[in-house]
Amino acid sequence: MTFAELANPGILTQPVYEPGKPIETVARELGLDPAGIIKLASNENPRGPSPRGLAAAQRALAEAHLYPDGGYYALRQKLAARLGLGLEQFVIGDGSNELLELLGHAFLSPGKECVMHRSAFVVYKLVTLMFGATPVEVPLGPGLRQDLPALLAAVTPRTRLVFLASPANPTGVASSAEEISALVRALPPHVILVMDEAYAEYLENPPDLRPLIAEGRKVVCLRTFSKIYGLAALRIGYGYAAAELIAIVQRARQPFNVNAIAAAAATAALDDEEFVADCRRENFAGLAQLAAGFQALGLEFVPGHGNFQLVKVGDGLAVFDALQRRGVITRPVKGYGLPEWLRVTVGTPAQNTRLLAELAAAVSR
């Protein structure tokens, strides 16, 4: 028998997530100098990692021969103190992506459904399919805004999870606290809202769902240290919710699922408040710089609230390829049902200037 014949049937049709190409790969494939390539594809922090986090990671390397604290007590304790929640209301994950998978282990199976937007972060759909559940996708509203009433209308007795992000990836659109609260309060008791807050720190006043958790509403919030804290390579995130929900998710978590270096870096990064504030301020300026550049080029774009912009360029794949050959890596979003658009990460002012210049040349062709 072949390996395919031995495999579980579902794995053979499981879609594969395609991350943005690393600089080294693009340089090798196109014969370019890596030093001349800029990557604006994966929503990474152009300022680099949190200085406090980096220093803590370097110190933790001296004890790399020891297993980590599998309960991640120091990190959960600091999170609990900052957010005013109990220690038992947090779970630590290998990035927020692993937390999505843990929720699948806990709540999904064949016959269950998950509701999401059609152009939502692709991992929601991948996790749903991985556990044999059915993804139910609803279209975005005008201006590529998220349609929360449509999410609610798609809920059936088979629904277990509703996925929502604010700001959303890849559109960058943020939903208001009032919209999110209305959705949570309207969901039936057999449905959990999974609130993806990966880009929440880029908002001046992100929606606060803790009061809803305190009320006993079925909602779990996910955050990551990959974005504004600049720790993407270390793969660490966290979820917070009612203690009962977290206890169930903890049962699905592997021992030592996050390494000690990442845990130390994340714990220290939480104290890097000045770094985070500077990153947020520079990101606002970068969003404005890109928006002005797109307007000058006559290109439609979605005003984003994360650290990226979605811009309409015509043939997205063709413009992506032209930019990449010029040493600028962006992200085509055809896989999200948006073939005419590119997602562009906010870079440094110099990187943004170069992107706009190269984009002008690419679209003119």
Please write the tens of the pLDDT for every residue from 168-221: 999 999 999 999 999 999 999 999 999 999 999 999 999 999 999 999 999 999
Residue 358 has pLDDT above 90, yes or no: yes
According to CATH, the topology of domain 3-48+273-364 is Aspartate Aminotransferase, domain 1 (3.90.1150)
Alpha carbon 185 to its chain's center: 24
Tokens for 129? 């399919």
Please write the tens of the pLDDT for every residue from 108-164: 999 999 999 999 999 999 999 999 999 999 999 999 999 999 999 999 999 999 999
Q: Are 117 and 147 in contact (CB under 8 A)?
A: yes
Q: What is the pLDDT of residue 181?
A: 98
Mean pLDDT of 99-114: 98
Residue 265 has pLDDT above 90, yes or no: yes
Nearest by Cα to 198 from 206, 209, 187: 206
Amino acid in the structure at residue 300 = E
Q: What is the pLDDT of residue 198?
A: 97
Please write the tens of the pLDDT for every residue from 300-345: 999 999 999 999 999 999 999 999 999 999 999 999 999 999 999 9
51-269: CATH class: alpha beta
3-state helix, strand, coil in the chain (%, to 5): 45, 15, 40
Domains in the chain: boundaries: 3-48+273-364, 51-269
Of the listed ranges 6-20, 53-67, 266-280, the least confidently predicted one is 6-20
Residue 240 — pLDDT band, cuts 50, 70, 90? very high
